[in-house]
Amino acid sequence: MNEFFDISKFPAKRGILVFGISMPYIDKKQSPKSLFKAASPLTSKIKKSGVGDIMVYSDGLYMNSDEPAHVLKSRFQRLMEEHKRGYMKIIKKDIYLIPSAFTFTTWSQLILNCEGFQKYFEKIKEIYKKDKKFQGYVKVDILSAGRKVDQNTVNYILEEVLLDFLVARGVVRLQNDYVQDHEKWILNCYNGKPHRAHVYVHQKNFIKIKTDNIYGDAWYDLDAKKLYEFDRMDIDSFDFG
């Protein structure tokens, strides 16, 4: 338990790497240059062509706040446009990369591409209200991020872990011109570790969704270069710091 390593190679089938972009980090540690540098080692693990990348801007997730929507929209729209333009500029300079393999989407678009998302969200909220352990993990995740525990931050965590779960389980349609809906595996990637609530939702599989995705219960940490397999994690003893 709690011992993890890097990936040696990806399956020799079409797949999609999903990169979550946190809006507070979009022009910092997830800037085009920084993200490309962190993600580039994954290219060497691709043994057969047919792998696409999807960058997911988490703009809609930050609607779970008291900040006026028009302020967030103005700020995030500019940041997303600049980030996409900067990333594609890097891609087009590399003759070995295929521009059509890189897709950029928003949080709200992913939700729209997930049939029944609101039904799933209401279910996970009901489970949260009854599950004391789940409540405890969410609270620690919020406090660890330096935020106060209130309805907005609770909804933020629940929405985040749920959509990530549904993406990994293949419930969300991931639009990529290069892969064209033929992906056989999906891997969530991020600059850092998952939340405790992420791991718990996967371990419990509250929504009872089965998957053939080899990475359906996994998370790749771009910073540590490790694949975290949730069924091998002990939440109470793992170092999430």
Give the range among 61-75, 113-127, 146-160, 211-225 with minimum mean pLDDT: 61-75
Chain center to CA of 162: 10
Q: Are strands 102-106 and 185-190 parallel, antiparallel or unpaired?
A: unpaired
pLDDT computed for residue 24 by the predictor? 94
| Residue 53 pLDDT greater than 90, yes or no | yes
Is residue 238, in this structure, part of any structural domain at all?
Answer: no
pLDDT computed for residue 167 by the predictor? 98
| Residue 75 pLDDT greater than 90, yes or no | yes
| Residue 69 pLDDT greater than 90, yes or no | no
Please report, rounded to a whole number, the percentage of residues in the chain having pLDDT higher than 70: 100
Is residue 144, in this structure, part of any structural domain at all?
Answer: no
Is residue 122, in this structure, part of any structural domain at all?
Answer: no
| Residue 66 pLDDT greater than 90, yes or no | no
Q: Which pLDDT tens digit goes with each residue over 154-191?
A: 999 999 999 999 999 999 999 999 999 999 999 999 99
Burial grade of 131 (CB within 10 A; 0-12, 13-18, 19 or more)? middle
Residue 184 tokens read as 């056989």
Q: Which pLDDT tens digit goes with each residue over 81-103?
A: 999 999 999 999 999 999 999 99
pLDDT computed for residue 48 by the predictor? 85
Report how far residue 192's alpha carbon sits from residue 225's, in angstroms, rounded to the nearest whole number: 9
Maximum pairwise Cα distance, the chain: 53
Is residue 103, in this structure, part of any structural domain at all?
Answer: yes
DSSP assignment of 157-169 equals HHHHHHHHHHHHT
Is residue 137, in this structure, part of any structural domain at all?
Answer: no
Is residue 87, in this structure, part of any structural domain at all?
Answer: yes
Residue 97: domain span? 15-114+163-232
Run of H or E including 2: none
Residue 4 DSSP label: -
Residues 6 or more apart in contact with residue 84 via CB below 8 angstroms: 55, 104
What is the average pLDDT score of the chain? 96
What's the predicted TM-score (pTM) here?
0.96
Run of H or E including 55: strand 51-57
Residue 102 tokens read as 């890189």
Give the three-class secondary structure for 156.
helix
Is residue 46, in this structure, part of any structural domain at all?
Answer: yes
Number of domains comprising the chain: 1
Q: Where are the alpha helices (DSSP H) in the chain?
A: 32-39, 69-93, 107-112, 117-130, 132-144, 151-168, 196-204
pLDDT computed for residue 47 by the predictor? 85
Report how far residue 179's alpha carbon sits from residue 14's, in angstroms, rounded to the nearest whole number: 7
| Residue 49 pLDDT greater than 90, yes or no | no
Is residue 130, in this structure, part of any structural domain at all?
Answer: no
Please report, rounded to a whole number, the percentage of residues in the chain having pLDDT higher than 90: 94
